[in-house]
Structure 1
Amino acid sequence: MQVEAQGVLLDVEGTTSSVKFVYDVMFPFARRELAAYLQQSWDDPSCQAACEQVAGDAGQPSLAAWADAEDRAPRDLVEEEATRLMDADQKATGLKQLQGLIWKSGFESGEMVAHVYPDVPPALDRWRAAGADLRIYSSGSIQAQQLFFGHTQQGDLLPLFSGHYDTTTGPKREAASYAAIAADWRLPPASILFLSDITAELDAAREAGMQTGLLIRPDNAPVEPGHGHTEVASFAEILIDFKNPSS
């Protein structure tokens, strides 16, 4: 795959990291530690903000109003709703914020070390050295992204990235989200290459004017033919000219 671009926007799960690491390590850790985290950190502003977002995602005017209406403890409502969202594999913003806060302790203690594919770090180094602007767009919260790339098997990769986006920008399967990212980036959409393993995300990015590449990684879900995105199995297959970007 050969393209001209100024920036590279990267998905995480199934693109830079194995789906199995996210589902077999990160999600179970958040589920296991949810109750303890809520109990220990309930009064922390970051926890309260995430819990208010959980209430908002559930269609409630506020956490207090929700608790009053249900005549239940707010913490119990948040724990129950977060568990329900995890059971349904929902990408709700409040849940992702909570998960990011829980993962913080796991990464900082060394209990979790993020998996990245071996082709990723050298490609990131190569692209940065060539003048690329690298950014992440994931359903995981910005905090979770920063923790993830700051604690990988290949060391601290966080300095390689100059920006992060999550679902507070918008859903990953809507073109408006990618238009908003390009506007924030101050780059023409056509000068940005978006890499993901999900064709619906790539469709949305392409609709917004971005270039796209579909990662075919081990354990990724099969893709339907005829999607129209260039398929690559490794970042090593992606050759980018950063000197003469599309406009």
Structure 2
Amino acid sequence: TDRLLEGAIAWRLSTSPADPKQVLKPSSEGILLHWETRSDHLTPGEMRSLERRPWVTYSAISLNVFLFAVEVILGGSQNNQVLYRLGALVPEVVWDGEWWRLLTATFLHFGFSHLAMNMLGLYILGTYVELVLGTRRYLGIYFISGVGSMLATTLLSLWLEPNSGVRLVVGASGAVMGLIGAIAAIFLQGWQRSKVPAARDRLRTILSIVAVQTVFDLMNPQICFVCHASGVILGFLTCYFLLWMRHK
């Protein structure tokens, strides 16, 4: 047994390690990158959370759906008076002191399709970001993006259109777009550390999604472009900073 072990050790020491780039297929390389990115961004405690469900995402979706049901019961999800009573954002009113609307407006939606699209995005994107970053960082990114995008909308609206009259703004779009920005930050830092082409390709995909969304927003005046753009930027910057602090 000792001779066999000695022989195995001698063979291993005399053999050069295989070059992963020559052995792995692109698909396999991408799988390894996926888990490398996750493990590199997680603390030991957060690694264990991978076995758990993304309860924060599920809770956020449940709260949005619950408030949508309240809208319908009180008179309709497209009734401006109902939305205003429940906390929709009105720039002039917020500026007069009702700052709580910056938060409540992120949980209200105008019509079922508005709710469905945002909740689908929240489920797909939020699940990934929550498992990768953990609960506290995820909550920070979600609320900074959501509330921050509403604040940006308020300030820009008052600056550009101070006499435009009452305008209601609702929706979780800013927070959801913030999750796209967060994923871009995750992939960017993964590429900066590993230089693996798969990470760069994923980053390009995210940037392409943002570009398409931007064009779509600009072509549809009824969509709050400022909410989406500021949400992406805030989500990216917040996530990048949090990851930088972790690896500092």
Q: One fold, TM greater than 0.5?
A: no
The structure where helix makes up a greater share of residues is 2
Q: Which has the larger radius of gyration?
A: 2
In the superposition, the TM-score normalised over structure 1's length comes to 0.24
The structure where strand makes up a greater share of residues is 1
